[in-house]
């Protein structure tokens, strides 16, 4: 009898144990599912998590006086966080002349300034384009970028920073010049450092600042829409003013093609920031073909040597002279002398 009695008691304990084990599995599975979906969302679109809320909205407008006055004269509501008139995938026109672009693009103030008239932009973005000898690409870029940025309801301006002379190209110095010169007529919240041959293919790729620096040119047509390598930061990227200042801007010592973007990756990493990217299906770019530039064969050596020099090679050591500032209908062109590749660089 006692034995018989003990059977059901044992069975009861057993089934309670089984029940508890099942519950424990359930909670573990739920926990895993939550972690996995969080990771998925972060991967698919990191900027869904947060960014707009955490960066303060500023209550002023950047750009030239008429844009600023037009916006500030009326009490406008802040534009919605998700622009309502995005198209998604875009048609790319590669052979638009500057005259055609000027005839098509409407409402832009001379110098390339724009802000929406129906709402107050959440973000003030300066687009900085390093440039030399690519006149045939300006038309397509302006034609594409103005409507792209306007649909995103940004307060923006486009600056073309042209290197004077025929020395080796120094993309990073031009980006530093653009940052410093644009600041004088900002204030701008974010800086899109953007090559002229990169045309975004999807306007859901938002050009607002994020909490962390953002690499834009994730999937480009010249690389078969694949990320070139994990630490690739070239083509186009977006950084808040504070990010640029924290890393002391771009290195000044890369002459010729390559290396300066890898250096920026390291600066960001060194400053304990992380690089965010949108998903490659949205962060797509059509690249316009052009003759290759002179390669900087020493770039990897310089890169290796560069660790630890961020604090004294960058914005605070840049020397340049602005030769002219021209306000064109769709952009501001700043011609700058940025020094010579022959000069002795800090080692």
Q: x/- site string to ligand BGC, residues 182 to 221, per CB under 6 A?
A: ----------------------------------------
Token look-up 């920031």 returns 273
Compute the distance between CA of residue 282 and CA of residue 204 in angstroms, rounded to an integer. Answer: 7
**Beta carbon nearer to ligand BGC, 258 or 314:** 258
204 near 259, Cβ under 8 Å? no
- Which residue's CB atom is positioned nearest to ligand BGC? 234
Considering only residues 238 through 257, tell me which ones interact with ligand BGC, judged by CB under 6 A.
none
199 near 114, Cβ under 8 Å? no
Instruction: Quote the least distance from Cβ 299 to ligand BGC, whole Å.
Output: 5
Q: CA 296, 174, 343 angle in degrees (round to 5)?
A: 55
Q: x/- site string to ligand BGC, residues 280 to 299, per CB under 6 A?
A: -------------------x
**Beta carbon nearer to ligand BGC, 114 or 254:** 254
Determine if 234 is a binding residue for ligand BGC (CB under 6 A): yes
Compute the distance between CA of residue 124 and CA of residue 184 in angstroms, rounded to an integer. Answer: 14
From the list 37-45, 140-148, 180-188, 228-236, the region that binds ligand BGC by CB under 6 A is: 228-236
**Beta carbon nearer to ligand BGC, 139 or 258:** 258
For strands 276-277 and 236-240, give the pairing: unpaired
For ligand BGC, which residue of 249, 259, 314, 339 counts as binding (CB under 6 A)?
259
SS3 185: coil
Instruction: Quote the least distance from Cβ 301 to ligand BGC, whole Å.
Output: 12
For ligand BGC, which residue of 111, 258, 314, 339 counts as binding (CB under 6 A)?
258
Token pair of 23, please?
A: 């519950």
Determine if 228 is a binding residue for ligand BGC (CB under 6 A): yes
Nearest to 58 by CA among 190, 185, 147: 190
**Beta carbon nearer to ligand BGC, 207 or 250:** 250
Compute the distance between CA of residue 68 and CA of residue 27 in angstroms, rounded to an integer. Answer: 55
Instruction: Quote the least distance from Cβ 318 to ligand BGC, whole Å.
Output: 19
**Beta carbon nearer to ligand BGC, 98 or 218:** 218
* Residues in contact with 275: Cβ distance below 8 Å, sequence separation at least 6, in sequence order: 212, 213, 214, 215, 233, 265, 268
**Beta carbon nearer to ligand BGC, 113 or 131:** 131
Asked, as a colleague might, if the bond just before 273 is cis with ω within 30 of 0, I would say: no
Considering only residues 65 through 94, tell me which ones interact with ligand BGC, judged by CB under 6 A.
none
Compute the distance between CA of residue 187 and CA of residue 114 in angstroms, rounded to an integer. Answer: 14
Determine if 130 is a binding residue for ligand BGC (CB under 6 A): no
Instruction: Quote the least distance from Cβ 175 to ligand BGC, whole Å.
Output: 13
Instruction: Quote the least distance from Cβ 234 to ligand BGC, whole Å.
Output: 3
**Beta carbon nearer to ligand BGC, 27 or 230:** 230
Compute the distance between CA of residue 88 and CA of residue 31 in angstroms, rounded to an integer. Answer: 34
Cα–chain center distance at 324? 27
Nearest to 185 by CA among 79, 102, 108, 111: 111
Contacts with ligand BGC by CB under 6 A lie at 228, 232, 234, 258-259, 261-262, 299
């Amino acid at each position: 009898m006692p034995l018989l009695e003990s059977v059901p008691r044992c069975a009861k304990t057993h089934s309670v144990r089984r029940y508890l084990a099942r519950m424990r599995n359930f909670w573990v599975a739920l926990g895993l599912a939550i972690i996995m979906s969080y990771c998925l969302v972060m991967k698919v679109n990191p900027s869904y998590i947060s960014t707009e809320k955490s960066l303060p909205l500023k209550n002023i407008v950047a750009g030239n006086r008429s844009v600023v006055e037009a916006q500030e004269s009326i009490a406008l509501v802040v534009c919605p966080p998700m622009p309502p008139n995005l198209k998604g995938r875009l048609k790319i026109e590669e052979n638009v002349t500057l005259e055609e672009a000027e005839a098509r693009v409407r409402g832009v103030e001379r110098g390339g300034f724009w802000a929406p008239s129906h709402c107050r932009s959440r973000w003030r973005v300066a687009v900085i384009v390093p440039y030399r000898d690519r006149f045939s690409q300006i038309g397509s870029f302006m034609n594409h970028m103005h409507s792209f940025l306007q649909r995103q309801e940004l307060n923006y301006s486009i600056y073309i920073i042209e290197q004077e002379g025929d020395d080796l190209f120094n993309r990073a110095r031009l980006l530093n010049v653009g940052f410093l010169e644009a600041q004088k007529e900002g204030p701008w919240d974010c800086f899109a450092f953007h090559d002229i041959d990169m045309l975004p293919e999807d306007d859901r790729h938002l050009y607002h600042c994020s909490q962390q620096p953002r690499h834009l040119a994730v999937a480009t047509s010249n690389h078969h829409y694949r990320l070139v390598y994990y630490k690739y930061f070239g083509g186009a990227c977006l950084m808040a003013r504070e990010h640029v200042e924290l890393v002391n801007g771009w290195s000044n010592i890369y002459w010729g093609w390559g290396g300066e973007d890898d250096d920026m990756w390291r600066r960001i990493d060194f400053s304990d920031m992380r690089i965010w990217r949108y998903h490659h299906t949205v962060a797509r770019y059509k690249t316009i073909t052009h003759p290759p530039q002179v390669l900087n064969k020493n770039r990897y050596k310089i890169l290796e040597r560069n660790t630890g020099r961020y604090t004294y090679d960058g914005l605070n050591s840049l020397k340049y002279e602005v030769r002219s500032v021209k306000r064109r209908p769709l952009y501001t062109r700043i011609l700058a002398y940025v020094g010579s590749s022959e000069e002795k660089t800090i080692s």
